[in-house]
Amino acid sequence: MKSPSSPQRKSSFSFYALALSFVVFVAVLYGEDLSCILRQPFLKFQQLQGSEKQEESIATQEKDVVLPFAIGRTEKRCDVFNGTWVYDNITRPHYAETDCPFIQPQLKCQAYGRPDKAYQNWRWQPHGCALPSFNATFMLEMLRGKRMMFVGDSLNRGQFLSMVCLLQRAVPEGFKSIQIIGSLTVFKAENYNTTIMFYWAPFLVESNSDNAIVHRVKDRIVRARSINKHAQHWKGVDIMVFNTYMWWMTGQRMKILRGPFDGDLKDIEEMETEDGYRLALRSLVRWVEKNMNPERTRVFFTSMSPAHERSMEWGGEPDGNCFNETNPILDDPTYWGFASSKSIMQVVKKVLSRSKVPIIVLNITQLSEYRKDAHTSIYKKQWNKLTPEQLANPRSYADCVHWCLPGLQDTWNELLYTKLFFP
Ligand SMILES: *[C@@H]1O[C@H](CO)[C@@H](O)[C@H](O)[C@H]1NC(C)=O
Ligand SMILES: *[C@@H]1O[C@H](CO)[C@@H](O)[C@H](O)[C@H]1NC(C)=O
Ligand SMILES: *[C@@H]1O[C@H](CO)[C@@H](O)[C@H](O)[C@H]1NC(C)=O
Ligand SMILES: *[C@@H]1O[C@H](CO)[C@@H](O)[C@H](O)[C@H]1NC(C)=O
Ligand SMILES: *[C@@H]1O[C@H](CO)[C@@H](O)[C@H](O)[C@H]1NC(C)=O
Ligand SMILES: *[C@@H]1O[C@H](CO)[C@@H](O)[C@H](O)[C@H]1NC(C)=O
């Protein structure tokens, strides 16, 4: 891992950010073994921990105990985000592509001709423990009469759709539906009175890319201190899952607007991406602190989703990308692509850890870095007709940002499930 502060790192970072933003511009055209899970009731758990010496750790545990939705815990020192991919064609995938009617055509890789299938068969295995198995019926029962909402960009929409696919198996025909209303996509499981939603807000805060359909804006402008235009639609939700990253990676300084969008847009301040990003996350934290009730609701933040644009980074051919990649990176536990900004990760860590209402980071970046095989690549519905030049060189239009379903994002949701019920 190279230091993010070296000048060389910085210039290549801008280069990749630029390349990445182009890809985003193109790609975002549309819009087991439960040994580590303690299942005893908390009362018993606390009795086991009764020694005075452990007073401090009890205090932290008691803080955990009040987390809503939790029914157990993951072994204290097990970092579920640190692990390895294991090929497992017995228990993976969780569902077949054809069995989930809600997958967008942009994420349906088999339907659009992907020849290989192994990308569906990898199971995430943390080093320190096993993950609880995802039980859709259980989750729906826990969410009875509740609302869950994903807010962010198209990658978060992918995670939302994965969650819908994971849960809808347990909902009988005639009791499930999906509806798009402007920025909001609403999945309903009527027999549970459960609603799972996705809300389009690629910067979380207000921006000129907020239209759910027409958001191809080259010159992005963000009102980093202003979140209520979106957040008014999030009120009363029980579980929030945020993300924001890709849209910030323009390779240029960010244009941060002080006034409203309806004026002449004169009061624009340019700043480093990290500084604009920090302002936006602070706006998010302020909103969470004011509007989310730590005794009844939960808040998650999915860390940056990596892209795989340059195979040279993982020792591949000079001009390759994720196209034609069929295996994860298994031999380099520290593999980290240039497009994933360590300094943005630091901002996420610092700003969110200071929130008075707990915001759990789903730190999926490292485990997704390994998955150069899991992108939609050329196997998706294309928005525009491909030119003969493109067709002659499939690499040129491969989408190395988004992920096939079923696939990697089901793991993100297994980790969300783990943190929700077994924090
Ligand atoms: C992940 O776990 C391995 C083995 O337990 C350990 O050596 C490594 O430092 C951990 N990595 C991180 C980022 O915590
Ligand atoms: C699962 O993978 C193993 C090892 O690669 C292979 O021998 C077996 O045929 C596969 N089973 C199915 C059902 O694909
Ligand atoms: C899944 O959860 C339901 C409801 O809690 C339970 O009845 C069922 O036994 C669970 N299934 C498995 C395989 O654990
Ligand atoms: C269904 O859930 C909503 C909250 O999402 C709640 O306001 C409503 O009362 C519930 N309806 C029934 C019939 O339980
Ligand atoms: C895909 O990769 C295989 C080797 O893994 C190679 O034989 C084949 O030519 C590649 N296909 C394309 C179109 O690059
Ligand atoms: C996420 O994990 C990586 C190591 O894989 C670490 O460097 C980073 O600080 C973590 N981020 C947060 C927000 O905890």
Instruction: Give the side-chain half-sphere CA count within 13 A for 91.
Output: 16
In this structure, of 27-36, 159-168, 183-192, 367-376, the range with the lowest mean pLDDT score is: 27-36
Residue 390 or residue 212, greater confidence: 390
Instruction: Please give the helix or strand (H or E) that residue 83 lies within, else none.
Output: strand 83-87
- Segment 171-193 mean pLDDT: 98
Out of 75, 78, 127, 364, mutate this one to test ligand 1's pocket (max ligand atoms within 8 Å of CB): namely 127
Task: State if residue 54 touches ligand 3 by the CB under 6 angstroms criterion.
Answer: no
Strands (E), 218-356: 221-223, 239-242, 254-257, 268-271, 298-302
Asked if the model's pLDDT at residue 144 lies above 50, the reply is: yes
Secondary structure (3-state) at 190: helix
Out of 142, 193, 196, 238, mutate this one to test ligand 4's pocket (max ligand atoms within 8 Å of CB): namely 193
Residue 299 or residue 212, greater confidence: 299
User: Is 264 marked active-site?
Assistant: no
- Segment 261-274 mean pLDDT: 88
Residue located nearest, by CA, to atom 5 of ligand 6: 366
Residue ranges covered by each domain of the chain: 9-63, 75-421
- Segment 191-197 mean pLDDT: 98
- Segment 49-60 mean pLDDT: 38
pLDDT at 214: 81
Residue located nearest, by CA, to atom 6 of ligand 3: 138
C-alpha to C-alpha distance for 153 and 158, rounded to whole angstroms: 9
Asked if the model's pLDDT at residue 58 lies above 80, the reply is: no
Ligand 6 shell residues, CB under 6 Å: 303, 345, 348-349, 361, 363, 365-366
Q: Could you tell me the pLDDT band of residue 282, with boundaries at 50, 70 and 90?
A: very high
The structure tokens 């602070």 sit at 282
- Segment 303-311 mean pLDDT: 98
Structure pTM?
0.88
Q: Pairing mode, if any, of strands 375-377 and 399-403?
A: antiparallel
Ligand 4 midpoint to CA 262 (Å): 37
pLDDT digits (tens, 9 = 90+) for 336-395: 999 999 999 999 999 999 999 999 999 999 999 999 999 999 999 998 899 999 999 999
Ligand 6 midpoint to CA 138 (Å): 30
pLDDT digits (tens, 9 = 90+) for 226-254: 999 999 999 999 999 999 999 999 999 99
Residue located nearest, by CA, to atom 3 of ligand 4: 145
Query: Hey, which of 3-17, 34-48, 275-289 has the most confident mean pLDDT?
Result: 275-289
Ligand 3 midpoint to CA 198 (Å): 27
User: Is 207 marked active-site?
Assistant: no
Report which ligand 4 atom has the smallest distance to the Cα of 195.
5
C-alpha to C-alpha distance for 95 and 81, rounded to whole angstroms: 23
User: Is 399 marked active-site?
Assistant: yes
pLDDT digits (tens, 9 = 90+) for 64-120: 457 999 999 888 789 999 999 999 999 999 999 999 999 999 999 999 999 999 999
Residue 39 or residue 76, greater confidence: 76
Out of 245, 353, 366, mutate this one to test ligand 6's pocket (max ligand atoms within 8 Å of CB): namely 366
Distances (CA, A) of 414 to 129, 242, 408: 14, 16, 10
pLDDT digits (tens, 9 = 90+) for 247-256: 999 999 999 9
In this structure, of 147-156, 197-206, 263-272, 365-374, the range with the lowest mean pLDDT score is: 263-272
Candidates 405, 350, 407, 359; CA nearest to 122 is 407
| Percent residues over pLDDT 90 in the chain | 78
Count of C-beta atoms within a 10 Å radius of residue 190: 13
Task: State if residue 141 touches ligand 3 by the CB under 6 angstroms criterion.
Answer: yes
Give the number of whichever ligand sits closest to the CA of residue 93: 2
pLDDT digits (tens, 9 = 90+) for 285-304: 999 999 999 999 999 999 99
Q: Could you tell me the pLDDT band of residue 24, with boundaries at 50, 70 and 90?
A: very low
pLDDT at 259: 82
C-alpha to C-alpha distance for 420 and 409, rounded to whole angstroms: 16
pLDDT at 216: 75
pLDDT at 46: 31
